[in-house]
Amino acid sequence: MGSTSAPAPRSAPAPRTVSAPRPRPRLRPGRHRLAAALLAAAALTVTATAATTAAAVGSATTVAEWRLCMFLGGHPSLRKGSTGEAVRHLQCILNEVYRFQNVTVNGVFEEVTEASVKTLQRQFSLAVTGVVDAATWAALHP
């Protein structure tokens, strides 16, 4: 006769103790101003560095784009209907430097070229005539 013993009752798990949260380290009086000033200075340095880098990259890109539009002639007054190398130079500047992708470099001052010139004249706060005069040439060239 076999004796069967009852399994031993399971004991309840031990209750977990919750420790109090650690106190945050406190800065000594006046140190929070120093920390804030250091953070602000770091943020300004990063912002200034990013802006300088972007400007340097942008100017390097602009220089490369200007090389695509080399022109040794003068800068005569141009208007709708004008033709020639000066118009090709203008169209190259509009297309390559100012990114007017719809301007075809064909040496003929057409409607699209005129509309692009008017847009740039507005952006440069010049008289919006569509005519490329001395003031417009000065604004187009860096």
Question: What are the angstrom distances between the C-alpha of 97 and each of 15, 20, 73, 110?
Answer: 73, 64, 19, 19
pLDDT of residue 111: 96
Q: Between residues 41 and 134, which one has the greater pLDDT? A: 134
pLDDT of residue 68: 79
pLDDT in tens, 12-67: 666 666 666 676 666 566 666 666 665 555 554 443 433 443 444 344 445 567 67
For residues 8 and 31, give the distance between their C-alpha atoms in angstroms, rounded to a whole number: 61
pLDDT of residue 54: 40
pTM comes to 0.56
pLDDT in tens, 79-124: 999 999 999 999 999 998 899 989 999 999 999 999 999 999 999 9
Of the candidates 124, 68, 138, 132, which has an alpha carbon nearest to the alpha carbon of residue 96?
A: 68
CATH topology of domain 42-140: Muramoyl-pentapeptide Carboxypeptidase; domain 1 (1.10.101)
Helical H segments across 1-142, by residue range:
31-67, 85-92, 111-123, 134-140
pLDDT of residue 41: 54
Q: Between residues 52 and 6, which one has the greater pLDDT? A: 6
Per-residue pLDDT, averaged over 117-134, amounts to 96
pLDDT of residue 141: 82
